[in-house]
Amino acid sequence: MTNGYHIVVCGSIVPDPLQTLEPLPTPSGPALKNEMMLPAILDPWAAHALYEAADLAARVAGSKVWLVSVGPKAKLQQVMMTIAQRVSFEFVPVDSSASGFADAHATAVVLAETIQHISGLDGSRLLVFGGWESASRGAGATMQLVGERLSILDQFQGVDKLNVQADGSFEVLERIEGGRHQVSTCLGPPVLLGWATGDLPEPRNNPQVGMANMRTVMPALQRAKSVPLPAAGLHYLSASPPKQQRQTRVVKDLTPEQIAHEIAEWIGK
């Protein structure tokens, strides 16, 4: 691969996992209470996809990374303050709902159309990255729908490793049952990869990268089109947090031996 890859990462935002989430009914379906007030982060698996994309782009000369994010403009701006300091990318925001209750089909239409309109994108060098599931809807369906809309037949989900071989082909490791990986080889782009955690650490914040990214992030946010997400025949009958609260027995006065006996008995039941 001499010309490099065009890597488009699809990644939205989710509420910080430490926040308490409370669903509320609205005329258009469920929503989160105080959703716009909740601190947000880049979706964790999508963040791994972005770090892998940046790492690959850094290793293959001529490559470029775009980050396509669907979410409320104000929240995207907040999250970019952090993410933009980690790796280099061109930001392509879409001002819309990032709710987990939005339909994957509707989100996929917006993502695919946005990717198709990226200026200068070369489909023969295209790698579409994303998280294999979001931490909001958690469907593991959006990326496949995007891939179908882009006519990409080589799709991989739960990816932990992408190796570029000497002949330009890819070796891909996908998670399967039992803590194992399926190993595949693919001739090359275009491909779509839904990433699991990969094997890269979170990059450190680099203010210089942040400065460079923010020159394009802010104008992109200002230009971001507002797009409604239709329900497309999806109806919610209810949305509620789990009710189960356990009555925890806190045991402080047993010796390790007594505890071991109790656990062994419990395991054996």
Partner 1 sequence: MAQSILFLAHVSEAGGTLPKAAHEVLGAALKLKEQTGSRLTIGLIGENVEPAAETIAGCSAERILGVTGPDVATARYASDAAAAEALCRAAAADLILAPATSRFMRVLAGVAHRLNGCVDTHVTSLDVVNVELCATRWYYRQRIEGVIRRDGRPWIVLLESGCSAAWAGVAARATIEKIPVTLPEAARRTVVTGIRAPKSDAQTIRPDAGLLFVAGAGWTKKQADGKPHVDQAETLILDFLRASGASLGGSKSLVDQSGESQAVLRFMTHLNQVGQTGSTPRHPKGLSTCCHGEEPHVVGWRFINERRAVNLDPNCGWARGKADVLYVADAFEVMAKLNALLLEKSHPKLEPAAQLA
Q: Which is nearer to partner 1, 122 or 171 (CB)?
A: 171
Asked if 254 interacts with partner 1 (CB under 8 A), we say yes
Tell me the CB-side half-sphere exposure of residue 229, using CA atoms within 13 A: 24
Place of tokens 């109806």: 235
Return the number of the residue (117 or 261) whose C-beta is nearest partner 1: 261
d(CA 8, CA 192): 9
205-234 positions binding partner 1, by CB under 8 A: 232-234
Q: How is residue 136 written in tokens?
A: 């909001």
Contacting range for partner 1; rule: CB under 8 A; set: 61-69, 118-126, 166-174, 221-229? 166-174
Size of the site for partner 1 (CB under 8 A): 88
Work out which of 180, 215, 223, 225 binds partner 1, going by CB under 8 A: 180
65, 71, 77, 78 alpha-carbon torsion, rounded to 10° = -110
Nearest distance from C-beta of residue 119 to partner 1, angstroms: 26
Residue closest to 192 by CA, chosen among 237, 234, 144: 144
Q: Which of 42, 173, 220, 224 binds partner 1 (CB under 8 A)?
A: 173
Site track 181-210 with partner 1 (rule: CB under 8 A), x = hit: xxxxxxxx-------xx-xxxx--------
Nearer to partner 1, 89 or 156 (CB): 156
- The H or E element spanning position 110 is helix 104-116
For residues 104 and 136, the answer to whether their CB atoms sit within 8 Å is no
Distance of alpha carbon 72 from alpha carbon 63, whole angstroms: 29
Closest CB to partner 1 among 32 and 57? Answer: 32
Using DSSP's 3-state secondary structure scheme, residue 213 falls into helix
Given a contact cutoff of 8 angstroms between Cβ atoms, the answer to whether 10 and 129 are in contact is: yes
**For residues 112 and 72, is the Cβ–Cβ distance under 8 A?**
no
Closest distance between partner 1 and the C-beta of residue 59, in Å? 18
Instruction: Show the tokens assigned to 177.
Output: 């049952």
Binding piece for partner 1, criterion CB under 8 A, among 78-86, 90-98, 169-177, 212-220: 169-177
Contacts of partner 1 in 54-73 (CB under 8 A): none
Site for partner 1 in 4-43 (CB under 8 A): 14-15, 17-18, 21, 23, 30
Minimum distance from CB of 212 to partner 1 (Å)? 25
Quick one: tokens of 34? 């105080």
Q: One-letter amino acid identity for 158?
A: G
Binding positions for partner 1, 112-151, rule CB under 8 A: 135-142, 144-145, 147-149
